[in-house]
Chains A and B, each alone.
Chain A
Amino acid sequence: MIETIEPGGADLEPLLSLQAITKRFGNFAALSDVSLDLRPGEIHCILGENGAGKSTLCNVIFGVHRPDAGAMRYRGAAFQPSGPADSLSQGIAMVHQHFSLVPDMTVVDNVLLGRERGVLNRKDCAKQLEKLAIDYGLPLDPYAKIEDISVGERQRVEIVKCLIRDPSLFVLDEPTAVLLPDEISALLDVCRRVASSGRAVVLVTHKLAEIKKIADRVTVLRGGRVVASSATPASDIDRLVRAMIQGNVEALDTSAASILGIESVKHVSHDRAANVTKTEALQISGLTVKDYQGVTRLDNFTLTVDRGEIVGVAGVEGNGQSELTAVLAGMSLPTEGRIHLGDTELTARSPKEITAAGVGIVPEDRHAVGCVTGMSLAENIYLNRLDEFTRFGFLRRTSLESEAAEMMQRFDVRARGPGVVFSSLSGGNQQKAVLAREITLPGLVCLVAAQPTRGLDVGAVAAVYSHIRAACARGVAILLVSSELDELLTVADRIVVLYRGRIMGSCVADPARREQIGAMMAGQAQ
């Protein structure tokens, strides 16, 4: 890694400084009294859990939100962007958490989108792309279609889209969430190069490993306030983590800690239920899914999960995981293959039948599949068991809500009450509620959890895993689909790796096999 040379230095005039910025949404203060300086040539990491105000902060800088109080100074002058277009024209560029590319268009067209009027000068743009590729190490085929390139390459396009405007301030909002280990270090290298060309880089993250590796300066947000900052992050990491989670690191669940990068990854053995004999619960054989265009998305997938076992499915997103979980959930039909739960055939059954057979599903897309955000928390917790709360067709709302309140306590779902609308909950609490619903299914035999900790903060991650482990100890078979390899290495017993819809290989979940698994994720056979 590049040694940190004191960049800029504290004496240098900050490029952008935020002075006591406050941003409220209704009564909720997303940011209170936030002050920080961004200097040219430095990588400034913003660290914080979900809901700490990181994205709001980026959006204030980028002109999406206007602060309610406080001021910003940019290049020594007062700065009040009227919107993203204004910020962009003044040299502030941002890579958002979610990609905003048109999949059907080429790289060069995506880069040109919104920049030029009239005639498109593709050749010039391609030349510029080439130059950027050399300067920053961002190789791209300008004429490839977005839908044909990998996630890591797509992100490069997003970065190039910003760099081509030659920004002085470059903001990246959680850019590493979807990347392969190799791609992450490549991205960090790019950040370093951008910074060393004299620009200020803001990197939003909640992964400490990245901070250790690259940050020149760190500001920690919690509850919308700056709770800590450091100009020597590598040596201050414990203090920063404590500030971020407001507690002590030792008390953290080991798996949560290793996912965050606080500890090196180690496998946490869970108590296998002693009285559960090793019996096959979920058997998937030869499962093949072709999409409507006839493209094979899942190819001859065969896997058995025993009772009391956690099997992890690793792989970069988009390699068949969604298809696998959709078929297991009864949301789409397999082209070929069969699914059994014990002696019961579950191939092509309806979601209702699958639930009745004792399969709980935590879907990867919580909002689209897992819950109805416009309905109340209680209604969502019992969405698949509403019939248990009826008398002559009437809903017994009091008992629904009191049972839901019990569930909230058991699963530590924090909300004002069971009657609040689901969309008002934080992501972590929403996920805990969905998990609560699926894991408390009467007669649960098997739990399929897809990306169950995505976007969750440390506390929630730990809670999700302790519930999954508890279910496993009760003899539930667990299929855990995740794109976070560290997560699988700590939690699962066995890992299979998906690549382009096929199982590239499988092995025990041993952190020592990390590289081998990483290679399989990238498509190299064992």
Chain B
Amino acid sequence: MTALDSGHPSAAARFVIRPALLVPLLAVVFAALVGLLLIASIGVSVPSAIAAFVDGTIGSPYAIAASINRSIAFGLVGFGFVLANRANLTNVGGEGQIAVGGIVATAVALYGHVSALPLGLPFILPMLAAVVAGAAWGALAAVMKVKAGTNEVISTLLLSFIGVWLLYWCVQSPALLRKPMTTSATLPESLEIPEATQLPLLTGDYSFPLHIGLPITIVIAVVVAVLLSKTVLGLRLRAVGLNPVAANRAGISYARTVIFALASAGALGGLAGAFMLLGEQYTLKDGFSSGYGFDGLVAGLLARGSVTGVVAASLLFGFMRSGGINMEMVAAVPTALVVVIQGLIVITLAGATLFIEKWERQ
């Protein structure tokens, strides 16, 4: 558990600023080299794989924006993870929270009669609904923990499966969100949400599809960082995380703190789902969350309690994912290999962090 327990807020921040930045960089380079070796070993041309990767990450404004949008989803889940982890809670339910966020956002956008409302409400309301749904999904695990002592790792994980299958049901059943079946070939997906409910693009240009989720996420990052380091609430989370018994004795409510922490994490997951749906995909499909919740979880884990760490890790993963997808499409590198390389990066980075900590202690 030590990897999860980096309670001290400045620990990871320190490591970002120090020359120790070099070590994680080397770790990434090392993992990339091993990845290239693997690519070469299966007979794919390395230069064309690299070209495809670069093309998919920074090759076009569209690629850059798509990568950043991915990073946003990872980041939101990661912030939630870090926040809950401050109370020593491990939220592995990002995937399900994204799914319920997406479902609710779709439902409200399509059937909530919000399109005609003024002041941006057409997209704000579905967003808020997704936040509430995600929070409820997270709070459910918290209530189980407080009332019955259920381990939140288990409950959030299982709730995740429920969320993902709920989504499957929603897009399969015409009584729920599936679009009206005109022919037998109608895909199991929702209708496209009305234009008014789609998130406004920052540039107004679909070739650079950054949407207002980006500034919102930046604000959230700052809020989470400040909450954790400067507020009494952050201190309470930490107290409950480090010693729930002593915190309780000192009058800090364990139940309220745990519910707040997991609900917040869930809310951020729900928001990530809303951004994905309202900002990029516009229709709800099976496989909508496609592992983003788990990538976000890894970003949160790697960040070791630091919000800046989450930003760095999510950007890394966002771009990696985009590049990987392009490698798969253009250079015919198997998906499995892309996943292997991602895993390698995670392991070398985690190892690098351990190394740095040992080194700093001496």
Contact yes or no, B232 A389, CB < 8 A: yes
Q: Residue-by-residue, is A142-162 near B (CB-CB < 8 Å gives 1, otherwise 0)? A: 000000000000000000000
Contact yes or no, A395 B239, CB < 8 A: no
In this assembly, does B238 line the interface, its C-beta being within 8 Å of a C-beta of chain A?
Answer: yes
A and B contact pairs by CB, cutoff 8 A, 26 listed: A331-B245, A331-B248, A351-B248, A351-B249, A355-B250, A368-B243, A368-B246, A369-B245, A369-B246, A371-B246, A372-B239, A372-B242, A372-B243, A372-B246, A372-B247, A373-B242, A374-B7, A375-B238, A384-B249, A384-B250, A384-B251, A387-B232, A390-B231, A394-B230, A395-B231, A395-B235
Closest to B227 in A: A393
What residues of A have a CB within 8 angstroms of the CB of B236 in the complex?
386
In this assembly, does A352 line the interface, its C-beta being within 8 Å of a C-beta of chain B?
Answer: yes
In this assembly, does A329 line the interface, its C-beta being within 8 Å of a C-beta of chain B?
Answer: yes
In this assembly, does A383 line the interface, its C-beta being within 8 Å of a C-beta of chain B?
Answer: yes
The count of chain A contact residues (Cβ–Cβ below 8 Å) is 28
CA–CA, A369 to B7, complex, Å? Answer: 19
Give chain A nearest CB distance to B120 CB in angstroms.
Answer: 27
- The dominant DSSP class at the B interface is helix
Assuming the A-B contacts A373-B242, A375-B242, are A361 and B232 also in contact, with contact meaning beta carbons closer than 8 angstroms in the complex? no
What residues of B have a CB within 8 angstroms of the CB of A373 in the complex?
242-243
Closest to B238 in A: A375
Closest to B240 in A: A372
CB within 8 Å of B: which A365-410 residues: 368-375, 379, 383-384, 386-387, 389-390, 393-395
CA–CA, A355 to B242, complex, Å? Answer: 21
Which one, A355, A356, A383, A390, contacts B246 given CB within 8 A? A383
Give chain A nearest CB distance to B88 CB in angstroms.
Answer: 10
Give chain B nearest CB distance to A322 CB in angstroms.
Answer: 13
In this assembly, does A167 line the interface, its C-beta being within 8 Å of a C-beta of chain B?
Answer: no
Give chain B nearest CB distance to A369 CB in angstroms.
Answer: 5
In this assembly, does A315 line the interface, its C-beta being within 8 Å of a C-beta of chain B?
Answer: no
**Most chain B beta-carbon neighbours within 10 Å: one of A331, A356, A368, A395:** A395
In this assembly, does B233 line the interface, its C-beta being within 8 Å of a C-beta of chain A?
Answer: yes
What residues of A have a CB within 8 angstroms of the CB of B251 in the complex?
350-352, 355-356, 384
Assuming the A-B contacts A351-B250, A383-B250, A384-B251, are A368 and B245 also in contact, with contact meaning beta carbons closer than 8 angstroms in the complex? yes
**Most chain B beta-carbon neighbours within 10 Å: one of A383, A384, A387:** A383
CA–CA, A352 to B247, complex, Å? Answer: 10
CB within 8 Å of A: which B317-355 residues: none
In this assembly, does A53 line the interface, its C-beta being within 8 Å of a C-beta of chain B?
Answer: no
In this assembly, does A363 line the interface, its C-beta being within 8 Å of a C-beta of chain B?
Answer: yes
**Most chain A beta-carbon neighbours within 10 Å: one of B7, B8, B235, B242:** B235
**Most chain A beta-carbon neighbours within 10 Å: one of B8, B231, B249:** B249
What residues of B have a CB within 8 angstroms of the CB of A368 in the complex?
243, 245-246
Give chain B nearest CB distance to A410 CB in angstroms.
Answer: 20
CB within 8 Å of A: which B236-275 residues: 236, 238-239, 242-243, 245-253
CA–CA, A491 to B250, complex, Å? Answer: 27
Give chain B nearest CB distance to A213 CB in angstroms.
Answer: 39
Assuming the A-B contacts A372-B243, A394-B230, are A379 and B248 also in contact, with contact meaning beta carbons closer than 8 angstroms in the complex? no
CA–CA, A45 to B293, complex, Å? Answer: 61
Which one, B231, B249, B252, contacts A369 given CB within 8 A? B249
Assuming the A-B contacts A352-B251, A372-B239, A375-B238, are A393 and B233 also in contact, with contact meaning beta carbons closer than 8 angstroms in the complex? yes
What residues of A have a CB within 8 angstroms of the CB of B246 in the complex?
368-372, 383
Of all A-B residue pairs in the complex, the 9 with the closest CB atoms, nearest first, are: A352-B251, A384-B250, A383-B250, A374-B242, A372-B243, A372-B242, A390-B232, A351-B249, A393-B231
Give chain A nearest CB distance to B148 CB in angstroms.
Answer: 15
Contact yes or no, A395 B250, CB < 8 A: no
What residues of B have a CB within 8 angstroms of the CB of A389 in the complex?
232
Apart from A370-B249, A384-B250, A390-B232, what 8 extra A-B contacts exist at CB < 8 Å? A329-B249, A355-B251, A356-B251, A374-B8, A374-B242, A383-B250, A383-B252, A394-B231
Give chain B nearest CB distance to A401 CB in angstroms.
Answer: 13
Give chain B nearest CB distance to A515 CB in angstroms.
Answer: 37
Give chain A nearest CB distance to B360 CB in angstroms.
Answer: 13
CA–CA, A361 to B236, complex, Å? Answer: 20
